[in-house]
């Protein structure tokens, strides 16, 4: 090998055009690196094409338009009539209390209405009159004014038995339905008739079968599920 070849690197032996392209490529990489290091910068590129304002119809206008259309077609009146009829049916004949069945075997038991006060009860001046944790029996302060009779008015036998019992006690019974139309019975008997809405009373008293008679026995309520 000649000494002249030892003094020149392989890069120096490359053609001049090749060296120039490599230099331009390196410069481009350097510029891109500097740009990236400096962070991106947003630019206004101008407007491309026409610009339109974003317009949405008012929600109230949409509702009014829809109501006018329904009124014109008669659909609104039909919905109102259907809603009124449904409400009338629910008032006239509420949904029967779930889980309550006809008595097939006599059962008697007592119910203690006492409750434990979770929070202090104070008077108007903030003085504690009942401490939390105290057991309070409502029957200490008020008595059951009349016995309660629970029946399912869809059962004619129960209705007849209730009528006989009311007559026997000279009307001193509060009649509460677990099924059937209380308004219909009230019109027929000309006396107040109530409905155990959502089974609140029967659930609280532990009544599972009707007819059931609830009377007061001292500080407890006595319950008889009758045949």
Q: Are residues 106 and 212 in the same domain?
A: yes
Distance CA 197, CA 38 (A): 73
pLDDT for the residue 44: 54
Is the four-CA dihedral 123, 128, 132, 134 of positive or negative sign?
Answer: negative
**Token output for 190:** 């000309």
Give the C-alpha separation, 33 to 77, whole Å. 72
pLDDT at 14: 52
Same domain, 211 and 110: yes
Q: pTM for the full model?
A: 0.61
Cα separation, 49 vs 130, in Å, equals 78
Whole-angstrom Cα Rg for the chain: 44
Q: Which domain holds residue 160?
A: 101-225
Give 147-164 as a DSSP string. Answer: -EEEEETTSHHHHHHHHH
Tell me: do 83 and 123 sit in the same domain: no
What's the pLDDT at 1? 46
The CATH code of the domain that includes 117 is: 3.40.30
CA nearest 131: which of 113, 116, 150? 116
Q: What is the pLDDT of residue 11?
A: 46
Judged by phi (left if over 0) then psi (alpha if -120 to 50, else beta), residue 22 lies in alpha
Do 68 and 125 fall within a single domain? no
Residue that terminates a domain, selected from 92, 113, 143: 92
Q: What is the C-alpha separation between 132 and 134, in angstroms, rounded?
A: 6
Instruction: Say whether both 77 and 138 belong to one domain.
Output: no
Per-residue pLDDT, 43 = 54
- Report the C-alpha gap between 15 and 145 in whole angstroms: 118
Q: State both tokens at 69.
A: 């259309």
C-alpha span between 166 and 185 (Å, rounded): 13
For residues 221 and 98, the answer to whether their CB atoms sit within 8 Å is no
Residues 198 and 175 in one domain: yes
What is the rounded distance in angstroms from the CA atom of residue 94 to the CA atom of residue 88?
Answer: 10
Per-residue tens of pLDDT for the chain, all 227 residues: 444 444 444 444 555 555 566 556 555 555 455 444 444 455 555 555 566 565 566 788 888 888 888 888 888 788 877 777 777 666 777 899 999 999 999 999 999 999 888 888 888 888 988 888 899 898 988 999 999 999 999 999 999 999 999 999 999 999 999 999 999 999 999 999 999 999 999 999 999 999 999 999 999 999 999 98
* 73 lies in the same domain as 166: no
């Amino acid at each position: 090998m000649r000494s002249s070849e030892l003094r020149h690197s392989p890069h120096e032996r490359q053609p001049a055009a090749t060296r120039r392209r490599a230099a331009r490529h390196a410069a481009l990489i350097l510029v891109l690196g500097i740009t990236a290091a400096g962070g991106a910068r947003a630019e206004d590129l101008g407007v491309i094409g026409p610009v339109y304002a974003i317009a949405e119809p008012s929600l109230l206008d949409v509702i009014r338009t829809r109501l006018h259309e329904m009124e014109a077609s008669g659909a609104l009146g039909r919905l109102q009539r259907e809603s009124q009829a449904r409400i009338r049916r629910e008032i006239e004949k509420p949904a029967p209390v779930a889980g309550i069945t006809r008595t097939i075997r006599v059962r008697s038991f007592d119910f203690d209405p006492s409750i434990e006060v979770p929070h202090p009860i104070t008077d108007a001046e903030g003085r504690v009159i009942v401490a939390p944790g105290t057991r309070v029996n409502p029957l200490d302060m008020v008595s059951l004014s009349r016995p309660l009779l629970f029946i399912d008015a869809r059962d004619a036998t129960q209705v007849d038995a209730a009528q006989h019992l009311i007559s026997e006690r000279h009307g001193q019974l509060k009649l509460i339905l677990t099924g059937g139309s209380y308004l219909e019975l009230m019109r027929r008997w000309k006396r107040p008739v109530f409905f155990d809405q959502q089974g609140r009373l029967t659930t609280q008293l532990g009544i599972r079968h009707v007819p059931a008679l609830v009377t007061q026995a001292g500080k407890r309520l006595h319950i008889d599920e009758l045949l």
